[in-house]
A and B are shown apart, each in its own frame.
Chain A
Amino acid sequence: MKILTERMEAHRTDSHTIERYEATGGYSALRKGFEIGPEAVTAEVKASNIRGRGGANFPAGVKWGFLAPARPAYLVINADESEPGTFKDRQLLERDPHQLVEGVVLSSYALGVNHAFIYIRGEYPKPARRVQHAVDEAYAKGYLGKDILGSGFDLDVTVHLGGGAYICGEESALLNSLEGRRGEPRIKPPFPAVEGLYSKPTIVNNVETISNVPWIVSNGGIAYASIGPDTSAGTRLISLSGHINKPGNYEIVMGMTWRDLIYDIGGGIPGGRELKAWIPGGSSAPWFVPAEHLDTPATIDDVNDLGSMMGSGAVIVMDETTDVVAAAHRIVRFYSHESCGQCTPCREGTTWLERIFNRLLNGQGRMADIDLLIDVSDGISPGLTWPPAMTTICPLGPSATAPVVSIMKYFRDEVEARVVSGIPVALEAADG
């Protein structure tokens, strides 16, 4: 079952053009939407049970319901895709931008929004070119602008390029950035749906979430809800990367096990090596290991129940050769580099973690560093549970603790050995 990638697979070379889009039923959902009216469009999205694909997995219909009545209101598409391991939105932006644009028009119509923004990360000029081109085409064809298709509905779309900052994927930081400010997350409440862009009611949704809207309107929310498990309805794009034979994006119906995903879909581990661990939902998520998780189902709720998350649907696979201390360091370094710097525990704590890891990697580790790593993590995310308790404004800081906790939980012996010998365990094994 394919929703998002059907067109691009069937029409390799021109799925991004308006001609192909129209020829394959594109913008017919929009016509239908204008016929059934905004309340009915909203009702379909609610009925679909689609949960946000940006990472938090929050039901889109419920979020839309929170939109405060004040106007103007805004719709902002989160195309900042920066969570390590994630590259699905890039494909949607490049290969089927009109699907997103139609979703934007439908969603704006449903929400009573007359100006929408697509915030694309700065390192994505090519996706931005495609989207801008699609927006221009849509204007030219009357799918955007004034009185769209004679419906009386007006919509402008601004494509905005980021400046290089992972934190701008967090929705309130994104809004600050879009306002021309530092991309610092805002205190919540108020939530964007009440006070968002320019302090006006704003809905922020992920590219993938909104790209599903045309299908939902065409086929009905119930049809969408009936795909896959109840609370993980619909299809979703999974990004496979790392030590895997067939990395890439896969549109799947949720519910298969991790074994199916990694070995069937992903083709297993290169060189027939052993699977050591994987991250089930972007680098922020606590790790899974084969002994405990390989035969559990990959659904939002099952993964939550096991103390991790599906997040942005990015699966990062690590084989037996992986130096877990170095891998954890890489992830911690990412969060330290990307911390916006507002919260003391995140700003100072993630950097401290990184520096302790640096010492471990340089062979200057001490046994006490193991407890210190855990305790510094605990200061950022008290109790070290998942979803994380936080001493911070946003979950970026706590995300940095996930790899620390994971390696201490599953590979503590390797960490200890690392402190003692200063040499990565995986290397030692390889040498003999």
Chain B
Amino acid sequence: MADLVTITVDGVAMQGKAGEVLIKVAEDNGNFIPRFCWHPRMKPVGMCRMCLVEVVGPRGRMLVPSCTTTINEGMEVDTQSAVVKKAQEGVLEYLLINHPLDCPVCDKGGECPLQDHTVAYGPGESRFVEEKRHFEKPIPISELVLLDRERCILCARCTRFSDEISGDPLIEFKDRGNAVQVITFPGEPFSSYFSGNTVQICPVGALTAKPYRFKARPWDLEAVESVSMVDSIGSKVSVQSSQNEVVRIDGIDNDATNHGWLSDKDRFVFESIHSADRITTPLIKEEGQFREATWGEALDLVAERLTSFPGAQVAGLGGANSTNEEAYTFGKFLRTIVVTPHIDAQLDDGLDPQFLVGVTPRAAIPDLETAKTILLWAADLKEEYPVLYLRVRRAAAELGANLIVVHPRATGLDDVATHKVRYRPGTGPEVLRELTGDDADYTEIREALAAGPVVGIVGRTGLGEDPRLAEAVAAFVRDFSEGKIMPLARRGNVVGALDMGLAPTLLPGRVSESAAHDVLESEWGPLPEGLGRNATSILEGLRDGELRALIMLGTDPVRDHAEPELAAAGLDGAEFVVAMDQFITDSVAAADVVFPVAGFAEVEGTVTNIEGRVQKVNRLVPSPGQTRATWSVLDDLARRMDGNLGATAAAAIAKEITGVAPAYHGVTWDALDWGDGREGLLLPLAEGVQHLEYIPVDGQLASVDARYGLHLGRVLYDDGVRVRMSPSLAALRPEGAVFLNAAALDALGLAPGSPAVVEGASGRVELPVAVDNSLGDGTVYVPANLESTRSLGAAVAVTVSPGGDA
């Protein structure tokens, strides 16, 4: 416990923690001191001078900036004195010298601290008669952000963010004194995955986001708190709409997950919500073509067809992009109405479901604040979990944690890593054995790991990697003092879906099917016997005729499964396919019936992030056309199949979950909407129990021996449907390429840009080759899930050869 210090502000005694700055202690105790440059998540710079207050000391009163002054016992502060008022007026008058008075057309007008402070603390009028400074009108500093230098008040929030927080200092001050401006370098735009944060923290309208510009006036906005479902970090957001259209997403500051920051994907993916490509009516396929249908017609048809198969010949895929309530209803529908055990929310691109939800001891994101050592052996966080990347970056750069990054190529965190290990895909098991053994190369890393607490962030570095390697790494980390594991799973609510039992080996509430089968039958009625198939096996079964029908919930195996050919063959082999989705993805196109369902910002419910933190997502806008909530579609379908799911409302389902799912006992919406629960509830709560305690094993994998090991790594802006449907983000997708180091290019007789062929067991691509010297000998890197690279499929052992006519 940090020491408490007592101070007096304007005659009121208050307490803060030793080392805290005055402005924060005062604010926490209800005394708001005006400020522009201070931001609670960044180091104070004390530049704007708006927060000056008087501290009364033995040698009289002293004007000090409250944002850089740390409190001491007995400190006496005056925030209201004539001198303070005068200083505040002065600062505002100085700031307005060059600030245009274009509030009516400024995006920030109405929610602008400069405007507000001027009203509250400013002088009546300006005595400045000279001409204001002028700059060229807004200049784009990236694809997403515009800069209006005239409005800038030089608070250094954006520059500090890019330097301190996101680690891509591409936006900086230029010139000196009264000529200072914020700007990028010619040919080096502020193309950061985090650029939108600078717009959010800009205290004036100098930085604006293209997707939001001129869309709305702040006073017209409605907002709800929610959770970003772009990835599994559970970043807290404020979703804002104008006239029933989502126009903006901002981060909400919380200690638990995102500290208020978002990736640009979290922030601008809202464009997909109102895409013209949304499916808005049920569709039935006739002679290879979809036609619009009524709900009654579509539901009847599906009920009839599903009833016609034995339950065990039907399978369900998906649910990892749904809320817990939707996922729960999906699982209950499959297990009790269809009566099938073949269920998987993952597409065999993740980790073992039992490991993912059951590993102990499990690390929470805030554990990164206290970790001494972090072993990161997983995907490139910057590409796949950008907000977690920020937290790890902070741990290493600001909090002094040792960071060990093990990855096949350079990652976004290498610059703050204390140790980097690069390896050829397929040889991970060998690296792990050397690390666990006494190989001299790894002595320093072993020593670092000996200093606990240790957090092991584990996952698959690329799509081809054996998931059991992550488990073996976890088994290794667990042995260190205070070692905790953070297993990574990619899709928005994958942990929630698994917690709701959407895996062959799991039932709702973080319990294994074998252990909880009988208990759940007493709640749900008879359940299918035996363990079902996982995603790959389901697709194989469909292809081979062992399974006959498939129900998909918000999933796109044709793009996302490691073997796209298998996925296509599976859908092709199925006699009947139903899809519940928002878009006609490649997989949905293969369906016989499509139900249009509501999505993010259109439904309420809960989601569970990678830590096992449950948070509430909320509804803000109506879903378009005839779209309906997933649970209500399933409920209708169940009735038509002579069953009853009792899914009358999301809230009712949530109540059922707390009763049925052991780890979710006590997780009520009330608890999530108010008080501490707004930061989410980390499971299990005192009332809940986690029966599943999965001990990771080191299965002593064999390395894959091949001339070339393929690193099929994800990139943030890939061809996933939500990026494709968000025009601002879609424009940022990179071109596909085959990456090799320069020596490999030479050896193959290739020049940069010339075509190369990569071929493995799951497919092949021919693409221009590019140099990446962070790749070791024998490593070939291809970005996953781009239009141009999807045909490759995940394999570790590949061949690389010159393409084209060569």
Please indicate the chain A residues that have their CB under 8 angstroms from the CB of B87 in the complex.
Answer: 379, 382, 391
Complex Cα gap A405–B105 (Å): 41
Complex Cα gap A116–B154 (Å): 34
A115 within 8 A of B: no
Please indicate the chain A residues that have their CB under 8 angstroms from the CB of B178 in the complex.
Answer: 336, 339, 341, 347-348, 350-351
Please indicate the chain B residues that have their CB under 8 angstroms from the CB of A392 in the complex.
Answer: 49
Please indicate the chain A residues that have their CB under 8 angstroms from the CB of B91 in the complex.
Answer: 344-345, 379, 391
Complex Cα gap A344–B46 (Å): 10
CB distance from B178 to the nearest CB of A (A): 4
Q: Are B47 and A344 in contact (CB under 8 A)?
A: yes
Of B44, B153, B173, the residue contacting A187 (CB under 8 A) is B44
Q: Are A341 and B154 in contact (CB under 8 A)?
A: yes
Q: Are A393 and B63 in contact (CB under 8 A)?
A: no
Please indicate the chain B residues that have their CB under 8 angstroms from the CB of A342 in the complex.
Answer: 45, 47, 154
Give B48's nearest chain A residue, CB to CB: A344
Of B49, B130, B179, the residue contacting A391 (CB under 8 A) is B49
B390 within 8 A of A: no
Give the contacts of B635-650 with A (CB-CB under 8 A). Answer: none
| Tally of chain A residues near chain B (CB < 8 A) | 33
Please indicate the chain B residues that have their CB under 8 angstroms from the CB of A133 in the complex.
Answer: none
Looking at chain B's contact residues, the main secondary structure is mixed
Q: Are A352 and B63 in contact (CB under 8 A)?
A: no
Please indicate the chain B residues that have their CB under 8 angstroms from the CB of A379 in the complex.
Answer: 86-87, 89-91, 93-94
Complex Cα gap A338–B94 (Å): 18
CB distance from B537 to the nearest CB of A (A): 57
Q: Given A341-B154, A355-B130, A379-B86, A165 and B94 touching (CB < 8 A)?
A: no
B180 within 8 A of A: yes
Q: Are B86 and A349 in contact (CB under 8 A)?
A: no
Q: Are A352 and B176 in contact (CB under 8 A)?
A: no
Give A167's nearest chain B residue, CB to CB: B176
A130 within 8 A of B: no
Bitwise, A328-367 to B at CB < 8 A (1) or not (0) is 0000000011111111110111111001000100000000
Complex Cα gap A170–B65 (Å): 20
Bitwise, A372-383 to B at CB < 8 A (1) or not (0) is 100000111011
CB distance from B81 to the nearest CB of A (A): 11
B83 within 8 A of A: yes
Give A356's nearest chain B residue, CB to CB: B130
Q: Are A349 and B127 in contact (CB under 8 A)?
A: no
A340-B176, A343-B47 given; 20 more Cβ-contact pairs under 8 Å: A165-B176, A336-B177, A336-B178, A338-B177, A339-B177, A341-B154, A342-B45, A349-B90, A350-B178, A351-B177, A352-B130, A355-B130, A368-B127, A372-B127, A379-B86, A379-B89, A379-B93, A382-B87, A389-B63, A391-B90
B312 within 8 A of A: no
Please indicate the chain B residues that have their CB under 8 angstroms from the CB of A382 in the complex.
Answer: 63, 83, 86-87
Q: Are B49 and A345 in contact (CB under 8 A)?
A: yes
Q: Are A347 and B63 in contact (CB under 8 A)?
A: no
Complex Cα gap A389–B49 (Å): 14
Q: Are A391 and B68 in contact (CB under 8 A)?
A: no
A11 within 8 A of B: no
Show the binding face of A for B, using Cβ within 8 Å: 165, 182, 187, 336-345, 347-352, 355, 359, 368, 372, 378-380, 382-383, 389-393
CB within 8 Å: A-B pair count? 94
Q: How large is the interface on B (under 10, 10 to 19, 20 to 34, 35 or more residues)?
A: 35 or more
B32 within 8 A of A: no
Q: Are B176 and A341 in contact (CB under 8 A)?
A: yes
Of B83, B86, B95, B176, the residue contacting A348 (CB under 8 A) is B95
Looking at chain A's contact residues, the main secondary structure is helix
Q: Given A344-B49, A390-B63, A378 and B94 touching (CB < 8 A)?
A: no
Complex Cα gap A349–B153 (Å): 14
Of B94, B128, B176, the residue contacting A344 (CB under 8 A) is B94
B52 within 8 A of A: yes
B223 within 8 A of A: no
Q: Are A344 and B63 in contact (CB under 8 A)?
A: no
B695 within 8 A of A: no
CB distance from B248 to the nearest CB of A (A): 29
Q: Are B177 and A344 in contact (CB under 8 A)?
A: no
B98 within 8 A of A: yes
Q: Are B46 and A340 in contact (CB under 8 A)?
A: no
Give A338's nearest chain B residue, CB to CB: B177
B183 within 8 A of A: no
B730 within 8 A of A: no
Top 10 closest pairs, chain A to chain B, by CB: A379-B90, A348-B94, A341-B180, A339-B177, A351-B178, A342-B47, A341-B177, A187-B68, A355-B130, A344-B94
Please indicate the chain B residues that have their CB under 8 angstroms from the CB of A187 in the complex.
Answer: 44-46, 65, 68
Give A358's nearest chain B residue, CB to CB: B130
Q: Are A347 and B90 in contact (CB under 8 A)?
A: no
B293 within 8 A of A: no
CB distance from B62 to the nearest CB of A (A): 8
Give the contacts of B323-363 with A (CB-CB under 8 A). Answer: none
Q: Are B46 and A393 in contact (CB under 8 A)?
A: yes
Please indicate the chain B residues that have their CB under 8 angstroms from the CB of A352 in the complex.
Answer: 94, 97, 128, 130
Q: Could you list 19 examples of A-B contacts with CB < 8 Å? A: A182-B173, A338-B177, A341-B173, A341-B177, A343-B49, A344-B47, A344-B154, A345-B94, A348-B95, A351-B178, A352-B94, A352-B130, A378-B90, A379-B89, A379-B93, A382-B86, A391-B49, A391-B91, A392-B49
